[in-house]
Every structure is written in C-alpha cells, then in structure tokens.
Amino acid sequence: MNKLRSAHRKHKKDKRWKKWTLNILLLLIVIVIGLGIYLFNQIYNAAQGSYKGLDRPSNKSELREQTVDISDEPISILLIGTESYSSNGKNGRADTLIVVTLDPKDKELTMTSIPRDTRVEFTVKEAGKYAGFHKINAAYTYGSISGYGANKLTVETVEDLLDIPIDEYITVNFEAFRDIVNALGGVTVDIKKGFWEKNIFNNDKRIYFEEGLERLNGEEALAFVRMRKRDIAVEYTRMERQRQFIKAAIDQAISAGTIFKVGEISDIISKNVKTSLKPSEIFALQQTYSSMDPTSIETFDIKGSNEMIDGLSYFIPTEEGLNRVARQLKQILKLDSYSTESNG
C-alpha cells in the first residue's frame, strides 16, 4: 500500500515537474519570439530611415554589366566616415574612406583604406566650379555643394581611383560613431603603441592611450581612429588603427549583450547613418556574416608617398601600388572582364 502511495506521489510530482518545465519552455519561446519581432521592427525601421539610394541607372555601378545579388555574389561597400564640426555643421567632409569587399560563399571580408589626402581630379560635370585636382576627401563636400550628390561623387571618385565597381555605401558621422560605441558599452582594443590625441567633443583636451588592452568609450574610440599627426603615426598608422578598431567593434557588436541595446542603437542609426543598402539587403548581410571571425578579415594598403604641390600636402599613390590593389580587389569581386596586362 505504501509503495502504491509512494509511486502515486512520484507520478504526480513528475507530472507537475513536466508541466512546470513545459510552461517555462513555452514562456522562453514566447520571450524569444517577442524579442525577435521587437528586434526586427526596431532594426527594420532604423534601416528604412537610413536608406538613401545613389540614383544610378538600372540601380548598379557603371562598371557592372549587371546587378549583383548581395546574398549570393561578392560585393563592394564604401564606408564613409564624415565630420562637420570644423565647418559648424555645414557641408561636412569625408574623414575616412574604407572599401570593404564581402564574399558570401567563402565568408571572406577585406578592407582597403584610402588615404584621405589622395590627389584626384574632379570634372565639371561632377563638381561644377570646383573641378580640378583636389584631395579625395573633398569629393563629399563638393558633391554636396554642386548638387551632384555627396555620396554619389565620393563613390564614383573611389571607383575611378581603383577601377572597380562600388556597389553600395554606408555613411556615418562622428557623432553617431561616438554614440554607437557608447551604446555597445565601449570597445576593447589592443593598443600597440602609446600616443595622445585631441578630444574634439571636449575643447580639444588630450586623450592619452597606453600600450596594451584598453576599453575605449565613444570619444576615446574616435580619437584613437583619427590620430594622424603625431610621430608615432608613421609606425602605428591611422589606417592600421581604423581596421584594428573595426575588427574589435564587429566582435563586440555580435556579442550576446548587444541584443538588449538594439533600441538605442537603431535610434542612433536612423538619425545619423545613410546607406544605399535596403532593409532586406542589410538583413541578408547580417545572416551571412554574423558568425564570421573578425580576425579573419584581410586588409590591403595603397602604396605611395606624401608630396607638397602648390603649397598643399597630398598623398600620391604609386602606379604599381594602385594596380596591385586593383588586381586584388577585382579577383575578390570575381570580375572576369578585367585584364591583368592593362593593370600593370
């Protein structure tokens, strides 16, 4: 009799435990689904607010024979970091230019930094009265002033320089950069050499960086990627620091804790980021590359030297340096129409 009662109690206990476990699982499923819907709405709305096309015929680069499928073919994206603090918020300029290539099949990502002082020529059609030789970062300013389009002129100028199609662009200003880093809770970077840089958000007070692992807030992160006029910049270059930070930021952005800050981040994005990527394309990229190892990102540099021309300092790429990078990027983008002979 006692054995029967004991077995009955155990059966009821197991039944309650299973029911409790089922309820917990159902609750977790509801939370996950609800959070997923919330995230989708937040990010989708942010992406919609950030979308701004390039007004291209057939919606593709003139260097493409046909449009590319973002989720299936290699593409190129131009990252444009802008600032307007030096012009009191008017006609900002491009302070950072990085060409990113993405190959969805091989899960490969590359970054090519373009020195902002690179000497290029603008035509009358593009820049109006500002036609002539200028630094490449002026493309953003003159494209805006002339009415040709800041992002459009910047993208086309980079295409002319590297002789590759730029399929999409993403433009982010310094304020958004700072705010997104803060929303992420900072980004940890392994600083290779100590240096200092001005804080443009705090009366140019100095921010000091020490060698080793350091968690940077938004203002510190911006100073870290912007410094270029100290002696150490020759050894620890601006482009190297920018790429190093992007890798660290990607690692931080895909961490579990970021999911709970999506509302704050999406609000920042919708107000301060412009891109030719549509919401559906952003989701396709996220699904393809979210599991990517940031340490696998390959980087390329354009070889050249600084020269004084008419009283201004320019970066002059070597022909060999440009051709080498152009060949590498064309191979990555699987452009069959290019000729190795024509590229040196």
**Tens-digit pLDDT profile for the chain (344 aa)?**
554 455 555 555 555 555 555 555 555 555 544 444 455 566 667 677 788 888 888 889 999 988 888 888 999 999 998 876 554 545 577 888 989 998 888 878 898 989 989 999 988 777 778 888 999 999 999 988 888 889 999 999 999 999 999 999 999 888 888 888 898 889 999 999 999 998 888 888 999 999 999 999 999 998 998 887 777 767 888 878 888 888 888 777 766 566 667 677 777 877 788 889 888 787 777 777 766 666 677 889 899 999 999 999 999 999 999 999 999 999 999 986 544 444 44
The whole-model pTM stands at 0.75
Helices (H) and strands (E) in the chain, counts: 10, 14
Cβ count near 176 (within 10 Å): 19
State the pLDDT at residue 342: 41
Residue 135: CA atoms inside 13 Å, Cβ hemisphere, count? 22
Cβ count near 237 (within 10 Å): 16
State the pLDDT at residue 239: 77
SS3 (DSSP) at 212: strand
State the pLDDT at residue 89: 47
State the pLDDT at residue 290: 66
Distances (CA, A) of 81 to 51, 177, 229, 318, 331: 16, 9, 18, 25, 26
Give residue 165's Cα distance to chain centre: 17
CA distance 21 to 302: 59
Residue 208: CA atoms inside 13 Å, Cβ hemisphere, count? 1
**Alpha helices (H) along 65-216:** 124-127, 138-146, 150-162, 174-183
Report yes or no: 227 and 233 within 8 Å, Cβ to Cβ: yes
CA distance 202 to 158: 33
Nearest of 116, 134, 118, 114 to residue 126 by alpha carbon:
134
Report yes or no: 216 and 81 within 8 Å, Cβ to Cβ: no
Nearest of 142, 145, 147, 117 to residue 132 by alpha carbon:
142
Nearest of 131, 176, 135, 160 to residue 270 by alpha carbon:
176
State the pLDDT at residue 314: 95
CA distance 105 to 49: 29
State the pLDDT at residue 111: 87
Nearest of 164, 166, 116, 158 to residue 276 by alpha carbon:
166
Q: Which residue's entry shows tokens 């201004």?
A: 312
Report yes or no: 97 and 78 within 8 Å, Cβ to Cβ: yes
Beta partners for residue 35, in sequence order: none
